């Protein structure tokens, strides 16, 4: 869009608004350059190298690798379980965040600390703990070792904190006056939650869900001991990648990695679009 400005001694001068915002200062430009260099070294260059390695055998070879019966089964198990775990986390993570923010009870501080344990605990140690509790010698009498339930359980353990920690601060900042106004107008608690609270929490839930799904797709350590890595049954994509590397077949390992990368990227983009739309509506 253009605008006409009347010059002091002449005809109107047409000016176009500046695009791209304010120009960067030298310090800001240096900071941006350092940030992009660091991001490239840690993320962009390694990802590009994986894609190049996967395509060395040609796209036909990549397709043949990922459609291999054993590899396809591992990818389906990984993606399907990660998606199911994410759905569970959306419900349970939001519920836990609600309890931590809105309720007061004995042991609340302890629960706050325990939620972050999957962040701090090495995943192989988590796998050992899960095997001790839900393996053949389970003190609880529950043995899920070498079953698909073991994969589901391991994914649940490592992804638990993501939605809790993204929803909790947003829920704490919500204005309670809107809820009180809705209640004074006769709205039920369910209606208040659905029309007032949930729209404000949706962006945070979407962000946590993206992190949860990506973490589940990439998981290895917590399930390697419990699942048994049985081909066509409990073998996940990360184990399949390791097997390809051990068999001196980096092209196949990179091909599986590229498929997981593409799936995770697509899910993150979709959830980000949902998050942005809800923010605009808000």
* pTM of the predicted structure, to 2 decimals: 0.80
Whether residue 17 has pLDDT greater than 90: no
| Residues 190-240 pLDDT 10s | 888 878 888 888 888 988 998 899 899 988 888 888 888 888 899 999 889
State the burial class of residue 238 (Cβ atoms within 10 Å of its Cβ: 0-12, 13-18, 19+).
buried
Question: How sure is the predictor about 247, in pLDDT bands with cuts at 50, 70 and 90?
Answer: confident
Tell me the HSE value of 108 on the side-chain side, using a 13 A CA sphere: 11
Report the percentage of the chain scoring pLDDT > 70.
90
Query: What SS3 class is residue 6?
Result: strand
Q: Name the token pair of 31.
A: 């900071």
The stretch 260-280 carries a mean pLDDT of: 81
Query: How far apart (Å, rounded) are the C-alpha atoms in residues 236 and 123?
Result: 15
Q: Name the token pair of 273.
A: 């679009």
Query: What SS3 class is residue 74?
Result: helix
């Amino acid at each position: 869009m253009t605008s006409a400005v009347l010059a002091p001694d002449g005809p109107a001068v047409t000016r176009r608004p500046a695009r791209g915002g304010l120009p960067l200062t030298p310090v800001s430009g240096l900071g941006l350059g350092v940030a992009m260099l660091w991001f490239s070294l840690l993320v962009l260059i390694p990802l590009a190298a994986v894609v190049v390695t996967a395509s060395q055998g040609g796209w036909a070879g990549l397709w043949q690798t990922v459609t291999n019966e054993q590899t396809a089964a591992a990818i389906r198990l990984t993606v399907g379980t990660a998606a199911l775990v994410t759905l569970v986390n959306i419900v349970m993570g939001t519920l836990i965040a609600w309890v931590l923010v809105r309720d007061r009870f004995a042991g609340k501080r302890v629960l706050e600390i325990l939620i972050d344990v999957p962040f701090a605990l090495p995943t192989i140690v988590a796998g050992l703990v899960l095997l001790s509790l839900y393996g053949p010698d389970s003190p609880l009498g529950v043995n899920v070792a070498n079953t698909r339930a073991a994969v589901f359980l391991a994914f649940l353990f490592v992804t638990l904190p993501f939605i809790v920690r993204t929803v909790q601060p947003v829920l704490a900042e919500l204005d309670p006056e809107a809820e009180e106004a809705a209640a004074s107008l006769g709205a039920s608690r369910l209606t208040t939650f659905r029309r007032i609270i949930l729209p404000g929490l949706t962006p945070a839930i979407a962000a946590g869900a993206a992190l949860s799904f990506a973490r589940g797709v990439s998981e290895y350590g917590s399930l390697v001991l419990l699942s048994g890595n049985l081909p066509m049954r409990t073998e996940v994509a990360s184990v399949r990648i390791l097997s390809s590397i051990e068999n001196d077949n980096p092209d196949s390992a990179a091909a599986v990695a590229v498929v997981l990368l593409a799936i995770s990227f697509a899910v993150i983009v979709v959830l980000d679009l949902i998050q942005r739309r809800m923010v605009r509506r808000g």
